[in-house]
Amino acid sequence: MNVSKANSVAVRLDKVRFTYGDAAMRFDVECRAGAVTAVMGPSGSGKSTLLNLVAGFETPAAGRVLIGGEDVTGLPPAARPVSMVFQENNLFAHLDVRKNVGLGRSPSLRLDEADDMAIAEALWRTGLSGKEHRLPRELSGGERQRVALARVLVRNRPVLLLDEPFGSLGPALRSDMLELLLGLQAERRMTTLFVTHQPEDARRVADEVVFLEQGVVVAAGATDSFFADGAPEAFRRYIGSDFTKFARKPT
């Protein structure tokens, strides 16, 4: 099951152009193979659009999307080597936990014994053993996001797109989820794009940061360089007066 680092793939948006009404976006950026890249920026700056372009939910007007060097621009979402987790509504309300996770193995839910073993292992890894037969409405918000992560595990795709996945959870739960994510990441080395508004979360899990403003990447680099003297000016402005707090080395 282990995907070694050697199998990790880079994600690249090559001169991608995309427009919603009068919001013109232009993405030219590469996310390193096997690394976690925090995608940050003000609301409306294009973070979700960037992820949707990688997932294939949106198609560029110009330019290419490359995954592991392969041009996937013309491929539908299902044909891309990608899993995505949103802030909410990741689950089908009428399917129990086992089936919601099982969708990551088989969209028709024809699950054989090997699938069931993979599902059981993923549920164990995400702390959901015993909850196989619950419906989403019988779970807490944190548990629902764990189910979404369990589905990511059984799908076993090399690219993981997370669009504010823990944004609606309280601080303690968010911290638990980040811990879980770090554990899964250490094992799978998925190339992960992680949209977050929380500087402390980016610091904790991301190797690199991509910072957007008005549909353009205005800064990109190692996370450490974003939380140190000489951090990109646009990022400092975004964080505001709290910058020194986040920039302080953890003790």
* Binding residues for ligand ADP (CB under 6 A): 20-21, 23, 41, 43-49
- DSSP-derived letter for residue 104 is T
Residue closer to ligand ADP (CB basis): 123 or 212:
212
Half-sphere exposure of 196 (CA within 13 A, CB side): 22
Adjacency order of strands within the sheet including 11-20? 70-71, 62-67, 11-20, 23-31, 216-222, 208-213, 36-40, 191-195, 159-163, 82-85
Residue 181 Cβ, how far from ligand ADP at the closest point, in Å?
Answer: 19
Residue type, 251: T
Residue 48 within binding range of Mg ion, rule CB under 5 A? yes
Interface region with Mg ion, contact rule CB under 5 A, candidates 25-33, 39-47, 50-58, 184-192: 39-47
Residue 63 Cβ, how far from ligand ADP at the closest point, in Å?
Answer: 16
Residue closer to Mg ion (CB basis): 43 or 108:
43
Residue 41 Cβ, how far from ligand ADP at the closest point, in Å?
Answer: 6
Structure tokens at 186: 């250490």
Q: Kindly identify the residues of this chain, within the stretch 208-237, that bind Mg ion according to CB under 5 A.
A: none
Residue by residue, DSSP assigns 22-40 as: TEEEEEEEEE-TT-EEEEE
Residue closer to ligand ADP (CB basis): 20 or 124:
20
Residues that bind Mg ion (CB under 5 A): 47-48
